[in-house]
Chains A and B, each alone.
Chain A
Amino acid sequence: MMRLSRSALTKLQASILVIVALATVTLGVYGYNLSLTQPKARLIVSTTTSLYETRFLDELKSKFELKYPNLNVSFISQGTGLAIQTAMRGDADMILVHDPAREYQFLKGGYGVNRKIVAYNFFVIVGPSEDPAGISGKSPSEAFSRIRSAGLNGTAVWVSRGDDSGTHAKEKTLWKAIGLDAEKLRAEAWYLEAGSGMTATLKLANEKRGYTLTDVGTYLLNFNNHNIDLVKLVESGKSMLNVYSVMADSPKNANMTKANFEGSMQFIRFLVSSEGQALFAQFGVDKYGLPLFKPYVKLTENQSDSEIIGWIRDLAFFEGSECPQEFRYQADDLYSAQELGTIEVPSILTGLEERKVASWIQSLKA
């Protein structure tokens, strides 16, 4: 057996070892403390950088944990593509993203259940105030088309997220709408790829005096901080709609058996409750003068803007519903009778007629 000869240590060396031992003990105590004061359950929400950067999530977290003190919500922010993958591996309990196409894949692949649309806002195309491509006030398709021409002429530059995020996906859709393949555009000199989050992309666009697509929240955040001086040039239109939804990991999926389903559902219900929706509605007002998000559930309750409801339905509904029956799990109460029916509301109807149809459905419920 080993006997450490005491002459092997001078006073200094002994004291160093004592310090290390103390440090380890402190660590142990701290760790133990942490586990004691730590609420019992963790809820890991995989989400997008655009939401994360606005700091809205911090507010959501604190209000939610007031109601549910046993839960500790952690947000992992990544590009939407990555966020979904993280959830697919079961490393997150639920997702909060803004890419309907991939959300649908998530549901169909058996990874997610109980999708709820919680909020929306609009993407905007921003660019230098001198607007070399002349896109101010034009429609999104027209604007993209002009940007490309100017780009090919060497008078304008476009900066793409290039990171497989929801924003990037939306950008690709917009190019597709005018018959261009974003993959091919990457080879052209005027098309730059940032490969990073929204703020970094905006800053790059700012440096290069280029155009880029951004969600309004991140834009306002950076504009108000004087990080950028790009201006909003195109900010409305159906194709610029940005819809945020949540989905919980499916309890039926083998990879996700360790996911906190109960916690996810509590969070989802919170987000669609009046309290949660109110948070969406007023975030940003004090700092930027206008809210960064618009609550969706409230919108459908009030029927206040059926044009937008129609847009959302077109863009972000699957099989006529925000969450088809087969992807719901023990949560039927979340979905109103309005959707249970198979009444398809065709988009060719004008806003006026939609309102008529909607109120008729309302009367059905009553």
Chain B
Amino acid sequence: METVDITKSYDGLLALDRVSIAADVGQITAVVGVNGAGKTTLLNILAGIDAPTSGRVLIQGHEVDTNGLRTHCTMVFSRNLMFRNSVYENIAYGLRISRTSDRDVPAKVASALALVNLEEFEKRNARKLSSGEQRRVAIARVLALERDVLLFDEPTANLDPANAMIIERAIKESARSRAVLLSTHDLSQARRLSDRIAHLYKGRVVEEADPSRFFTNPRHEATKLFIDGELEF
């Protein structure tokens, strides 16, 4: 997947300024930046939830519009959003919409839950789970859909290390057959997981490199400050 010059402005405020990044199958691309840099805005556009003010998104070379993006990509939000239902129903929802036959649904739900270590949780009320468990359900939800592009908005924010580890492992697994884009401000996570890192600063991509070069030899001023934890916004 590739974005070309995505620009987004609200009420005269420029949220994204000609952002162009790429993500390939089998790769994890991390988008890092301070709060308010525009990461969530970018992800929403890529997920097909918001439309860009200008710019294009290409998948395998073909331009895809906002509606089309919704079928190719799916996203895990930074907030835990659970339907008022059992865990099973939460995961099955997307499957049923995509017309999976009823016979196949239980198996797919089970395997998705296995990927996040929640096998016994099918009948539990999704809203009553802990935040770590809910986040894992959200991830299972998107994994079950088997889409080409997965987007994660700060997937391990506010989670304890045990949950975080399970989630990171699931993300790495899922990237084998898909393109994955995740946003984070946890630099060590970016270093651990990703194959490419893009630094988003005030709506613009100011740095893009593989992890080793990104940390050892950042070119942009802002990136240097960001790595040192001294970047103001």
Contacts and interface: CB of A to CB of B under 8 A. Distances in A.
Direct contact of A and B (CB under 8 A): yes
- Which of A5, A6, A7, A10 has most chain B Cβ within 10 Å? A7
A12 to B, nearest CB: 11
A14 to B, nearest CB: 12
Contacts of B92: 7
A7 B96 CA distance: 7
B85 A10 contact: yes
A5 B85 contact: no
Contacts of A6: 96
Nearest to B88: A7
B220 to A, nearest CB: 46
Interface string A1-37: 0000111101000000000000000000000000000
A10 B85 CA distance: 8
A5 B89 contact: no
Contacts of A5: 93, 96-97
B100 to A, nearest CB: 11
A10 B89 CA distance: 9
Nearest to A7: B93
Interface string B69-111: 0000000000000000100010011001100000000000000
Nearest to B97: A5
Nearest to B92: A7
Nearest to B99: A3
A16 to B, nearest CB: 15
Interface in B30-89: 85, 89
A363 B60 CA distance: 116
A8 B85 CA distance: 9
B123 to A, nearest CB: 12
Interface in A119-145: none
A10 B86 CA distance: 9
A7 B85 CA distance: 9
Contacts of A10: 85, 89
Contacts of B85: 7, 10
A5 B99 CA distance: 9
B142 to A, nearest CB: 15
A353 B85 CA distance: 95
Nearest to A10: B85
A10 B127 CA distance: 15
A10 B93 CA distance: 12
A7 B97 CA distance: 9
Nearest to A4: B96
Interface string B168-180: 0000000000000
A307 B223 CA distance: 119
A156 to B, nearest CB: 70
Interface string B145-189: 000000000000000000000000000000000000000000000
A223 B102 CA distance: 74
B1 to A, nearest CB: 27
Contacts of A7: 85, 89, 92-93, 96
Contacts of B89: 7, 10
A123 B92 CA distance: 79
A220 B169 CA distance: 92
Interface in A219-253: none
Interface of A: 5-8, 10
12 contacts: A5-B93, A5-B96, A5-B97, A6-B96, A7-B85, A7-B89, A7-B92, A7-B93, A7-B96, A8-B93, A10-B85, A10-B89
Given A7-B85, A7-B96, A10-B89, 9 more contacts: A5-B93, A5-B96, A5-B97, A6-B96, A7-B89, A7-B92, A7-B93, A8-B93, A10-B85
* The 5 A-B residue pairs with the shortest CB-CB distance in the complex, in nearest-first order: A7-B93, A5-B96, A7-B96, A7-B92, A7-B89
